[in-house]
Amino acid sequence: MKIKVGFGFDVHQLKDNHPFFVGGVNLEHHKGAFGHSDADVLLHAVCDALLGAANLRDIGFHFKNTDPQWKGISSIVLLKETVKLIREKGWEIGNIDAMLCLEAPKINPHIPQMQENIAKAIAISIEDISIKATTNEQMGFIGREEGVVAYAVCLIQKG
């Protein structure tokens, strides 16, 4: 059996009175992530981890932020397309481990729904998806609630 590990990172600016999608969940908050798609920082980091593990470049290569096809699109769609690309190369997903870094809102109550959304989108068990969250202890652009960051690692396998 061949296995590979991938790492993903994403960051989005937070803006007042903007929707805030994380892990396919629309969070109630006075600020939200801004981007070409729905700016779901968690799903973008997961996509980059999966694409990197399969040596398929990155999310921006496949889903350009200048392409009107992807304007405002749900990142669940981008995740499904990403999984299709890696499965076309014969890879299956072993697990995903992700970390969100933001000051607010609290993420813990939403983690089960995020895990369910990801599991459903990529057809793996919720048990194989770990999502954690931390703050930046009020330091830097994260601490000032100017942006949100996500990191993800994954394992893919074939044979």
Q: Give the model confidence (pLDDT) of 83-142 as tens digits.
A: 999 999 999 999 999 999 999 999 999 999 999 999 999 999 999 999 999 999 999 999
pTM score over 0.75: yes
> How many angstroms separate the CA atoms of 57 and 47, rounded?
10
- CA dist 109 and 129 (Å) reads 16
Annotated binding residues for a divalent metal cation, as ranges?
10, 12, 44
The three-state secondary structure class of 90 is coil
Q: Which residues are annotated as a binding site?
A: 10-12, 36-37, 44, 58-60, 63-67, 134-137, 141, 144
User: pLDDT tens digits, residue range 23-69?
Assistant: 999 999 999 999 999 999 999 999 999 999 999 999 999 999 999 88
* Residue 134 CB neighbour total at 10 angstroms: 13
113: left (phi > 0), else alpha (psi -120 to 50), else beta? alpha
Range of the structural domain that residue 118 is part of: 2-158
Supply the CATH number for residue 51's domain: 3.30.1330.50
- Number of structural domains in the chain: 1
